[in-house]
Structure 1
Amino acid sequence: MSVLLSAQDLRLAFGGVKAADGINLDVMEREFLAIIGPNGAGKTTFINMTTGHLTPQGGSIRYEGKELLGMKPRAIVRLGIARSFQLPQLFTEHTVLENAAMAVAAREGAFSPFRPLLRPAFREEAEDLLNRFGLLPAADRRADALNEGTRKLTDIAMAVAMKPKLLLMDEPTSGVAAADKMAVVETLARVLRDAGVTAVFVEHDMDVVGRIADRVAVWGQGRIAALGPPGQILNDPVVQREVIGIRAGEVPHAAA
């Protein structure tokens, strides 16, 4: 596999707090990379820098060899990088199908409140997208009536409508009921892998990380403290103590 995204010596401080303190990370094509770590470690900051929502004070981020620093978020999206947020960014007064169609229209630069939203071409692509995510049964439901798992999948489906090569997800299972979590995770992993999308995701649930990640990067105080396959990282005693919160002698479910 070749390198899709390369971050080199990223540095960003907020006052005396170092959110990025020399981050070096290569993301490989088609891999699923999980980012874990305690709150305040700089995980979401990395996503925000990569997508142009924050500008580092030093370093470089290259995507397919092209420097991203200084580019606006919309320009970065056009290169093939999309993101989903911890809180789903949906048009709550619209249906699931309409949300998907809006994402398709936005990608085509054709979204306008004065033009029909569910034009045949947009509707067909939106329905195909919802079908891949198992969302067709909810197509006519308003977004504000969805449970959290369906909201999350709809939000990620809208990001996938942009046809990205790289998708960054901030806590894709946050708020999802425990009974629904693995179904949501397996659906999004299947769709993204089938589409050849590279995924970088921040996650606090180690069962999720162990289930779908190819590699795990451990963030701590703005640095990458460890990087490797899930079996190695999730069984590391320091990671178990400092990140997962497992005391010596306990057997973690995700790493068992």
Structure 2
Amino acid sequence: MSDPILVTENLEKRFGGVVAASEISLSLYPGETLAVIGSNGAGKTTFVNMVTGYLKPSSGTIRFRGRDITGSSPRKTAQAGIRRSFQISQIFPQLTVLENVMIAEIAAADGKGGLRRAALTDARMQTGRAVLDRFGLGQHSDTAVGTLPQGIKKQLDIAMAAINDPALILLDEPTSGVSSDEKIEMMERVIAPLKADDATLLFIEHDMDIVTRFAERTVAFYEGKILADGPTREVLSEDDVRKYVIGGVHA
């Protein structure tokens, strides 16, 4: 087996006297698709926020590709090759789909050359259209994002996170707010191009049908700790997971 792309060791996050995450140790391997499950407040997003630099761990270490990135800023974490989407899409509703992607391209390139000049280049527009086609969004390129259904907005947010082919992508509740009829189709449209590029994926999800369909491995969080970690169907069948996680996942 190859070396892990991401390793966390005894991660802990405290907010005053409240322990939001404790003893979080896991290894994620190149090409894996890992689901993180747990009821609200179980520590899932806290964990992702620590890995992506939005929260500094109170203790513990994070290594990405063998390098210690503990406490790195979101920008430095992204530049290292870790990107993420958010539960609430980080997009500009008044701009078109293509304009949103172009802004994400500029951010991925660290804004060199200035926002306006970079945004107006033909090459950047062509790259943006290629990204949209790759994620099945080409037909929406000139549409204002605010007029689109939630599923398309989520798809766009993930496409923007995938610009420049990061090695690790973390998706925070990618199907949140998406209708049950749209969820599977939306996930298929975003997972396929990411897996075609051998991206390593970690996604937080409350829908067990989505977890079963798309995750090879699942980690269950409970009260800020890892309750179970293993092949998805095995984890979902564990008594404690069924009792404390699946039973309360919508609590």
**TM above 0.5, one fold?**
yes
Query: Which letter maps to 2:132?
Result: L
- Comparing 7-16 with 59-68, which one deviates more in the overlay? 7-16
Deviations 1:7-29 (A, max 9, x none): 00111112332112111110111
In structure 2, distance between residues paired with 1:226 and 1:158: 31
Shift of 1:242: 1.6
Partner of 1:213: 215
In structure 2, distance between residues paired with 1:117 and 1:179: 36
Shift of 1:116: 5.9
In structure 2, distance between residues paired with 1:181 and 1:90: 20
Query: Which letter maps to 1:82?
Result: R
Partner of 1:190: 192
Aligned residues: 246
- Comparing 106-115 with 59-68, which one deviates more in the overlay? 106-115
Partner of 1:153: 155
Counterpart contact for 2:118–2:124, Cα < 8 Å: no
Counterpart contact for 1:82–1:162, Cα < 8 Å: no
- The question of 1:3 aligning with 2:33 is answered no
Counterpart contact for 1:37–1:43, Cα < 8 Å: yes
What aligned pairs does 1:169-248 form with structure 2 within 5 A after superposition? 169-245=171-247
- Structure 1's consecutive aligned runs of 4 or more residues displaced over 6 angstroms after TM superposition are none
- Flag structure 1 segments of 5+ consecutive residues without an equivalent: 247-256
Shift of 1:113: 4.2
TM-score when normalising by structure 1: 0.92
Partner of 2:122: 120
RMSD: 1.4
- The question of 1:135 aligning with 2:137 is answered yes
- The question of 1:110 aligning with 2:112 is answered yes
Counterpart contact for 1:8–1:59, Cα < 8 Å: yes
- Flag structure 2 segments of 5+ consecutive residues without an equivalent: none
Shift of 1:146: 0.8
In structure 2, distance between residues paired with 1:230 and 1:44: 19
Change (3 A) 1:183 1:53: same
Partner of 2:62: 61
Shift of 1:216: 0.2
Change (3 A) 1:245 1:70: closer
